[in-house]
Structure 1
Amino acid sequence: MTIAPERPVALRVGRDLVSPELFDKLAAFCADEYGLDVEMSARVMNEALAFLWTMGTTGKGDVMAPSKAVDPAWHAFMLHTQEYTTWCEEHFGRYLHHAPNSKTRTLGLMSDVMAAITEAGFAVDRSLWGFAAECNEPACCSDGPCC
């Protein structure tokens, strides 16, 4: 016999990992700094926070990378050095460093990162986790093997 849960379990969202005021401040900065519209900026900030939480709580930072779309939100948070440092220390007991390597954005890695974020209980906006393999030659997206 199968027993269905009384109500579905809601997935977590990255934006809930910071105060609403800080989220709005970071999303607005990301929009201004990287030329994103407000809605897109909020979406990428949400994904970046879920990514950072997953990276910080799993200890898999050496095998995780943000997508090209999500990376600017991590940069926006890091540029708010006091808030970023405090958040990292409070949640992980250490600073989460960013070691850029755009050549690692592959289908396998992005799939692994999305799976890890999902396993951590977060909803994932799959459309923001694109990778170089989505390029159609001869067009080039500038961050992978199709270039």
Structure 2
Amino acid sequence: MPALARMLISDEEFAGCRATVMDGNPDMAAEMAGRIVEEGLKFVAACSANPGVGLAPSRIVDEGWHALILHTAVYAELCQRLGGAFVHHYPGWDPTNYDPPILDRTREKIGELGWEADPQLWGPPSDETLVSVAAKCQHSPDCTIVITPKPKPGGVV
């Protein structure tokens, strides 16, 4: 994996995703929007590298993931480069679903890729002291992200 997760996509693609985060959050600084997109990239890479584990982003990081998903060609190419399994989004709309072990597991998997999860952006959904985001998704055990690997030739997974 590259030293910076933001290098998983081109500078132009990164700028476009950052602008999408800023469009949904008009008072957000470009630096913060960039941090959120970078954490979204780390999350997608962790999901791709750990099929079947069940990971979830924090509510703030979900905003960056949403921006990546909205750039459909960029997102599809990213998933392909990371191993081919498309990382689908399963929204969870109930903020009471917050389950810290899911975030702990996700941060651990990000660390195994050589990155550090930004601790300020991986907190509970009620922690909006740093930044408030438009995304209202809150992933939980019922809506964790589980990647199903592509079948290998001959139908073996």
Compute the TM-score of the two structures, normalised by the length of structure 1. Answer: 0.75
1:16 has 2:3 as partner: no
Q: How many residues align?
A: 127
How many angstroms apart in 1 are the aligned matches of 2:18 and 2:127?
26
| Counterpart pick for 1:37 among 10, 25, 29 | 29
Amino acid at match of 1:26: C
Distance of aligned partners of 1:34 and 1:118 in 2 relative to their CA distance in 1, 3 Å threshold: same
Q: Looking at CA atoms only, which structure, 1 or 2, has the larger radius of gyration?
A: 1
1:53 has 2:45 as partner: yes
How many angstroms apart in 1 are the aligned matches of 2:127 and 2:42?
23
Q: Which runs of 5+ in 1 are unaligned?
A: 1-10, 136-141
Compute the TM-score of the two structures, normalised by the length of structure 2. Answer: 0.71
Structure 1 or 2: more helix by fraction = 1
Which stretch has the larger CA shift, 101-110 or 46-55? 101-110
Amino acid at match of 1:105: Y
Which of structures 1 and 2 has the larger relative contact order (alpha carbons within 8 angstroms, sep 6+)? 2
Cα shift at 1:58: 1.5
Superposition CA RMSD, Å:
2.5
How many angstroms apart in 2 are the aligned matches of 1:97 and 1:130?
22
Distance of aligned partners of 1:133 and 1:37 in 2 relative to their CA distance in 1, 3 Å threshold: closer
Find the counterpart in structure 1 of residue 68 from structure 2.
77
| 8 A contact 1:107–1:132 mirrored in 2 | no
How many angstroms apart in 1 are the aligned matches of 2:85 and 2:40?
18
Q: Which runs of 5+ in 2 are unaligned?
A: 129-135, 140-157
Amino acid at match of 1:126: P
Q: Residues 12-63 of structure 1: CA distance to partner in whole angstroms, max 9, x if unpaired? A: 3220111111111111121112332211100110111011001111114x51
